[in-house]
Structure 1
Amino acid sequence: MAFRSWPARQLALLALGTAAITGLSGCTIVPGSTMSRVPSTVFGDTPDEYERANVDIRYIPINATVLSHYSMNKIPEARPYPEGMQEALSAYTYNVGVGDVLTITVWEHPELTIPAGSFRTAAESGNQVKADGTVFFPYVGDTHVAGLTLQEIKQKVRNELRAVIRNPQVDVRVADYQSQKVYVSGAVKQPQILPVTHQPMTLVDAIEQAGGLGEMAAWDRVTLSRDGQVQTVSIRELFQFGNWSKDLILQHGDVVHIPRNDADKIFVLGEVNRPQSILMGREGTSLAEGLASANGINENRADGRGIYVLRNTGVKRNSGGRLVYTATVFHLNAARATGFMFADQFPLQARDVVYVAPAPITRWNRFLSQLLPSIVATDNITDIENAN
């Protein structure tokens, strides 16, 4: 095959491409994945309104100093219940409500107590609190008990019976708790409605009574809905490290929801052998584990100096009313021996994007793969023109 030199026009175009790839190797002019600095265009407040979004990016290199705050091996301190909660647990009392079934016993007066018998439970033979908050008892009649503690009801019945019984000995218990409920839903083994009883119920108690966490439970995002307010609680530290300061006392009407972790994914992109999304592990996922799940970085195409973790930290509006996207970019230089040691200690979070940058030669090859067909086509056109 005879060698034929390219015309000056084609050589100039190739030289221009070489200058571009040398001077702008990090810009989006190069085909393929790159770290672009161009702000995105987003919808405004109305469907037909667009605005240019500002981006507030915080850059953090992954090094020994950073790992002292973010390390996977940083074990939270085990903590007991806070003082206020200890006092609340000790002072807890149950207030009887509508629907509860009471067993009222007057000692040495069995005629006042309906025996349960072998075919009737205590709940079936007890005294149910009616819709108006009252309960009926012989010689007492309908007496209001809703909202009272068992001790207060006991004293009230005793005072009423003194008119017919000398020094009555009264005992009051709840045979069936029906008035107050806590709802446990989501990724637990047995979602159910739990009765609030005379024993205080904590968040841990409710989850355990519902069979414990399911395999797909996202225990970092447990929600507690109360009186129209939603609180997010991470119970990972509680279950894994014994940090009891995360526990809460539940009350009537609380809804505890344990979401599934299907959405807790990490996205590994760029110059890895198998770009993909992976589910976060319950014990956490390190940067090294994320890269390994993608079959590692591609040794032929990747730039070990450019491994990035992109973390979205929210959207806000600045003083001028413009949208501002806030993000944190963690940068790991894995070209050094300590790089992957740092990667093994750096914890990823759900929805993180791990991006491995291409090596300069990879960007050059991709540029040529796009540029050379244009040069060849131009050369062929020149040949046709010369032939004519």
Structure 2
Amino acid sequence: MRFISVLVAAAALFGCSALPGDGPAAINITSQDVESSAEAGDFTVVVIDPVNIEAIRAYRPLAFANQFRGVGRGGSPTLLGVGDTLVVTIWEASPDGLFSSGDSGSSQIPSVVDENGFIFVPYAGRVRAAGLSIEGLRQSVQKKLVGKAVEPQVLISLKDKLSSTAVVVGDVMKPGVYPLPLRNTRLLDLVAQAGGAREATYETVVTLKRGNRAGTTRLEDLIEYPENNVYISPSDNILLSHRPRTFSAFGAVKSNELVPFRTKSVSMAEALATVGGLSDSRADANGVFLFRYEDAALVRQLRPELADKLAGKKTAPLVYKVGLRDPKGFFMTQHFEMRDKDILYIANHPTAELGKFLQIIAPLLSNYTVVQGITD
């Protein structure tokens, strides 16, 4: 039996570090390691507590809105341009006038601003339209008809402003090119005009391309955070994509897997339940970690001392840590919302390594006992 004692002691001292595992144990992630990694810029660790959980829940992700702040006019130009379709209505004081017809005493003339910027009006000829306002064009047409029509009165209506358009494509019901009205048009207005998303809003992302700038956000964030519902500018390109959300679970959980979101929101508690919860024999209840690229603005709010280091950055790698040995931890996991591409890792308890070692040497102990019995 002395042989077995020596074998166990030696293996315990030298063999456990080489045993296979699902990842680093919580005991290996010390405060010193965290600080040195944070100083090196690798990542930042935030322990979830009742104070910062409220800051996390109250944070408004506005990176999408900030991407387009001050870029683009947010509406269609008020001046006419090539491709605009108009209706020119002309009244005359005499029923025998050039444009008098029927009881209305007027004529409606559809017109399109041609490639040279002109429209054609009978008896007025070619009239410059591009670069003029609707009122400016009305006065110009009416002036040209003086002396040809009987006391002409002119009204010009804008039918479609095809000189200012935006493109909506992707997973929408009616993709196409949409003219922008003179009033300001927001992103959701144009998505609704295109029939809305084909899939659930929480599984759809919208990408807005404006010049050399581009931004992507969840379609539901345009509703949840109205600041993200930016104004559309001429020549904007909008792409809607069906992109289901997922999170990954690793470590001492009962099932290591990639898990799709099945509802609009999933809390950390629900995520843990989805993968079967913590492994009773291996998990460290105080070693629940969530890895995420978080908005730098939120990281600066949670860790003000990192403000200078994160200056100019949009995102930063962040590790949230929560302990479940304290009952408060369970309440906090209920209020912590998962996001797309989150990584949930449950660390092994230090004693789990000894359990693995005992499983490895159990056959050796059994064989040794049999040999000893035969020898005796």
**In 2, Cα distance between the equivalents of 1:302 and 1:138?**
85
1:330 and 2:320 correspond: yes
Give the equivalent residue in structure 2 for 1:222.
Answer: 206
Q: TM-score, normalised by structure 1?
A: 0.71
Q: Cα 1:277–1:252, aligned 2, differ >3 Å: closer, same or farther? A: same
Q: TM-score, normalised by structure 2?
A: 0.73
Shift of residue 234, structure 1, vs aligned partner:
5.5
Q: Cα 1:92–1:15, aligned 2, differ >3 Å: closer, same or farther? A: same
Percent of aligned positions with the same letter in both sequences? Answer: 23
**In 2, Cα distance between the equivalents of 1:293 and 1:111?**
78
Shift of residue 216, structure 1, vs aligned partner:
4.4
1:69 alignment partner AA: A
Shift of residue 357, structure 1, vs aligned partner:
1.8
Give the equivalent residue in structure 2 for 1:128.
Answer: 112
Give the equivalent residue in structure 2 for 1:70.
Answer: 56
Q: Cα 1:350–1:142, aligned 2, differ >3 Å: closer, same or farther? A: same
Give the equivalent residue in structure 2 for 1:42.
Answer: none
1:106 and 2:90 correspond: yes
Shift of residue 307, structure 1, vs aligned partner:
0.8
Q: Cα 1:137–1:354, aligned 2, differ >3 Å: closer, same or farther? A: same
For residues 275-354 of structure 1, what are the structure 2 equivalents within 5 Å?
A: 275-280=256-261, 283-312=264-293, 327-354=317-344
- Number of positions where the alignment pairs a residue of Structure 1 with one of Structure 2: 326
**Higher helix proportion (structure 1 or 2):** 2
Give the equivalent residue in structure 2 for 1:251.
Answer: 233
2:235 alignment partner AA: G
**In 2, Cα distance between the equivalents of 1:363 and 1:301?**
8
For residues 266-277 of structure 1, what are the structure 2 equivalents within 5 Å?
A: 266-277=247-258
2:197 alignment partner AA: L
Q: Cα 1:233–1:365, aligned 2, differ >3 Å: closer, same or farther? A: closer
Residues 27-74 of structure 1, C-alpha deviation per residue, up to 9 Å, x if partnerless? Answer: x63312122779xxxxxxxxxxxxxxx761211111112202113xx4
Shift of residue 15, structure 1, vs aligned partner:
0.8
Residues 245-292 of structure 1, C-alpha deviation per residue, up to 9 Å, x if partnerless? Answer: 332221221111233223x32101222222222234664322112112
Q: Cα 1:244–1:308, aligned 2, differ >3 Å: closer, same or farther? A: closer
Give the equivalent residue in structure 1 for 2:11.
Answer: 17
Residues 314-365 of structure 1, C-alpha deviation per residue, up to 9 Å, x if partnerless? Answer: 9xxxx9xxxxx96322111101211111111112222111011223343222
Shift of residue 221, structure 1, vs aligned partner:
4.9
- 1:218–1:260 Cα contact (<8 Å) kept: no
Shift of residue 203, structure 1, vs aligned partner:
0.8
Shift of residue 177, structure 1, vs aligned partner:
4.2
Shift of residue 131, structure 1, vs aligned partner:
1.3
Q: Cα 1:34–1:93, aligned 2, differ >3 Å: closer, same or farther? A: closer
Q: Cα 1:326–1:143, aligned 2, differ >3 Å: closer, same or farther? A: closer
2:254 alignment partner AA: N
For residues 27-42 of structure 1, what are the structure 2 equivalents within 5 Å?
A: 29-35=18-24
